[in-house]
Amino acid sequence: MQMHGTTGADGVRHYRLRLAPGRTELVTGVRTATWGYDGAYLGPTLRIARGKRVDISVRNALSHVTTTHWHGAIVDGRMDGGPHSLILPDESFRFGFSLDQPAASLWYHPHVDTTTGPLVYAGLAGMLIVDDDAAESSRLLPRTYGVDDVPLVVQDRRLDPGGELAYMTSPADIMGMKGDRFLVNGREQPYFEAPAQLVRFRLLNGSNARIYNFGLSDDRPFEVIGSDAGLLCEPVRVTRLLLVPGERAEIVVDLTHKRGRTIELRSYSGEIVPVLSKQAMEKDRFDGGTFDLLQLRVVAPSGHISKLPDRLAQMPALRPDAPHRRLVLGVAEDVMTLAGDAKGRGHDGPGGMNLGIGGQRFFSIDRDYFSFDRTNMKLALGSTEVWDLGNTSKMAHPVHIHGTSFRILTRNGSAPPAVEQGWKDTVLVRPAEHLRIVARFTKRAGDDAPYMYHCHILEHEDNGMMGQFTVT
Ligand code: C2O
Ligand code: CU
Ligand code: CU
């Protein structure tokens, strides 16, 4: 389902979203209590044209406080939907902004301090596509929604014996909540009838904690055309693609002449564990193996058939000489023991789902834990900065920054791989790695609604691994 909004007399495009409870057949034959945006699980794909003014009214019909954050959208702090912009039960929040950024696949989700993890896990998330019809590549690429331009929200969930969502049911879950059921667009291992032509998939790793190493069952190469916040300079041919929680990629799979074939999109997770961390304290049995996510059943070609352009986008030159800051990610050594003793936040989620133990001081950035009372950094409006990201812990953390898109200058001293050379807003930092990223801060965020930077493993974010900064 996509939502283009309606244009008012003022020329502004209006969208309405409503968060409410429902029941969903996530897994065949089981009706699970869930929360969703305009539906029982997940939400509509919002289409926003670059430069167009939008007005989005978000109504909270849940009994739990929420917010709605536009992940990857470069908007003022007050419109960012972070932890300061609460929407109480039965209340609404009106967002107004326009996006001046390249065409990209962004997403939205709640961002409440201490309960972002359970809220997203309950089903609250959706895609936000920025369209830029002025860009030539946008006209050339596959663009018929649901036919050859398909969003794929990839998530994992665990169900209890009664078929309800199980969240943080063991102390080990504090390392990052992982499930054993794999959902694409809210359904366990579904199939998609793909036309025998170039098909574009907008992949979102919408999982709380799991990393996927995407590939196709016949090891066919595919083209990566976009990263988090825009198209790459040119298509990059790969057979595997790693996506960490919060990250997106746009890929194009060539199914020409493959009518009648069945191909699985799967995660070759077993291939990546050794590079993630030696101890791999966050690893579960799926991280050691291969599992299917989505079946592609190739059917007759349909509609307009695209050809992949050689050049996709132009990238501005990097500014590696900008002022530096250093951020170091850390995890308390005894986190599992501490988690066992922590007091929970109740069972008020859908179907009595646990709301976790958010609010603990287990995961840190620069030895600090998130606090509303501390502004961790004050940036100047219009400034460009280089951030050095380090990781002294034994697990990998996806770092996400609000209010900007960044580029990776170096990963461990070398240029990043081609798929990481475009616009990013979320990036993996493995144990002992050292990344340098460069970002420009063009929107304002004051003390009333600062921007966040945090780990996108939501259980880490909820338990300290987040900071806030102003841009003035
Ligand atoms: Cu996707 Cu600060 O979040
Ligand atoms: Cu974000
Ligand atoms: Cu983390």
Cα(346) to centroid(ligand 3), Å: 23
Closest ligand, as measured to the CA of 74 = 2
In the structure, ligand 3 is a single-atom ion and the residues with CB under 5 Å from it are 397, 455, 457, 460
Scan for tokens 């996509």, then name that residue.
Answer: 2
CA distances to 7, 135, 430 from 399, in Å = 36, 29, 10
Would you place residue 277 in the very low, low, confident or very high pLDDT band (cuts 50, 70, 90)?
low
Cα(466) to centroid(ligand 3), Å: 9
| Pair 350, 34: CB distance under 8 Å | yes
User: Average pLDDT for residues 52-72, to the nearest whole number?
Assistant: 98
Closest ligand, as measured to the CA of 465 = 3
* Residues with Cβ within 8 Å of residue 154, at least 6 apart in sequence: 182, 183, 184, 203, 204, 205, 206, 207, 212, 243, 293
Residue 288 has pLDDT above 90, yes or no: no
As a whole number, the mean pLDDT across the chain is 95
* Whole-number pLDDT of residue 305: 80
Report the number of secondary-structure helices (H) and strands (E) in the chain.
5, 32
Q: Which atom of ligand 1 is the closest one to the Cα of 402? A: 2
| Pair 186, 341: CB distance under 8 Å | no
* Residues with Cβ within 8 Å of residue 310, at least 6 apart in sequence: 234, 235
Chain segment 4-21, per-residue pLDDT in tens: 999 988 899 999 999 999
Closest ligand, as measured to the CA of 117 = 1
Cα(456) to centroid(ligand 2), Å: 9
Would you place residue 27 in the very low, low, confident or very high pLDDT band (cuts 50, 70, 90)?
very high
Chain segment 222-261, per-residue pLDDT in tens: 999 999 999 999 999 999 999 999 999 999 999 999 999 9
Rounded to the nearest 10°, the torsion over CA 402, 406, 412, 415 is: 160
Cα(240) to centroid(ligand 1), Å: 25
Cα(467) to centroid(ligand 2), Å: 12
* Whole-number pLDDT of residue 275: 63
Closest ligand, as measured to the CA of 107 = 1
Q: Which atom of ligand 1 is the closest one to the Cα of 454? A: 2
Q: Which atom of ligand 1 is the closest one to the Cα of 426? A: 1
* Whole-number pLDDT of residue 276: 66
Q: Which two three-digit tokens encode residue 98?
A: 């326009």
Longest alpha-carbon distance in the chain? 60
Residue 182 has pLDDT above 60, yes or no: yes
Q: Which atom of ligand 1 is the closest one to the Cα of 452? A: 2
d(CA 418, CA 433): 18
d(CA 131, CA 98): 12
Which helix (H) or strand (E) segment is 275 a member of? helix 273-276
Name residues contacting ligand 1 (CB within 6 A): 69, 71, 109, 111, 246, 400, 402, 452, 454, 456
Residue 274 has pLDDT above 90, yes or no: no
* Whole-number pLDDT of residue 322: 85
Residue nearest to atom 1 of ligand 1 (CA): 71
Q: Which atom of ligand 1 is the closest one to the Cα of 453? A: 2
Closest CA to 25 of 13, 14, 40: 40
Q: For the chain, how far is it from start to end, CA to CA, in angstroms?
A: 38
Q: Which two three-digit tokens encode residue 73?
A: 């959208």
Q: Which atom of ligand 1 is the closest one to the Cα of 461? A: 2
Closest ligand, as measured to the CA of 247 = 1
User: Average pLDDT for residues 205-214, to the nearest whole number?
Assistant: 97
* Whole-number pLDDT of residue 235: 97
Residue 209 has pLDDT above 70, yes or no: yes
Cα(401) to centroid(ligand 2), Å: 6
Residue 278 has pLDDT above 60, yes or no: no
Closest CA to 380 of 299, 310, 327, 441: 441
* Core vs surface per residue 202-233: b (16+ CB within 10 A) or e: bbbbbbbbbbbbbbbeeeeebbbbbbbbbbbe
Cα(425) to centroid(ligand 1), Å: 9
| Pair 430, 276: CB distance under 8 Å | yes
Q: Give the residue with greater pLDDT, 44 vs 270.
A: 44
Cα(456) to centroid(ligand 1), Å: 7
Would you place residue 281 in the very low, low, confident or very high pLDDT band (cuts 50, 70, 90)?
low
Residue 24 has pLDDT above 70, yes or no: yes
Residue nearest to atom 3 of ligand 1 (CA): 71
Chain segment 80-109, per-residue pLDDT in tens: 999 999 999 999 999 999 999 999 999 999
Cα(116) to centroid(ligand 2), Å: 12
Scan for tokens 């997203």, then name that residue.
Answer: 120
Would you place residue 300 in the very low, low, confident or very high pLDDT band (cuts 50, 70, 90)?
very high
Chain segment 301-346, per-residue pLDDT in tens: 997 888 899 999 998 888 788 889 999 999 999 998 999 889 999 9
Q: Which atom of ligand 1 is the closest one to the Cα of 82? A: 2
Report yes or no on whether pTM surpasses 0.85: yes
Closest CA to 163 of 350, 19, 346: 350
Cα(354) to centroid(ligand 1), Å: 21
Residue 379 has pLDDT above 60, yes or no: yes
Among 166-170, 199-203, 317-321, 347-351, name the one with the lowest average pLDDT: 317-321
Closest ligand, as measured to the CA of 82 = 1
Q: What angle do CA 381, 426, 70 make, to 5 degrees?
A: 65
Chain segment 417-445, per-residue pLDDT in tens: 999 999 999 999 999 999 999 999 999 99
Q: Which atom of ligand 1 is the closest one to the Cα of 246? A: 1
d(CA 222, CA 53): 35
* Whole-number pLDDT of residue 279: 58
Closest CA to 63 of 468, 346, 450, 380: 346
